[in-house]
Amino acid sequence: MPLILLALSIANLIAFGLFAIDKTRARSGRRRIPERSLLTAALFGGLGAWLGQRLLRHKTRKQPFAAWLGLILTLHVLLLLSALVLWLACPLWTDPT
Label residue 60 by pLDDT band (50, 70, 90). confident
pLDDT of residue 12: 96
Cβ contact 21:49 at 8 Å: no
Residue ranges of domains in the chain: 2-90
pLDDT of residue 52: 94
More confident residue, 17 or 1: 17
20 has pLDDT over 60: yes
| Range of weakest confidence among 42-46, 51-55, 87-91 | 87-91
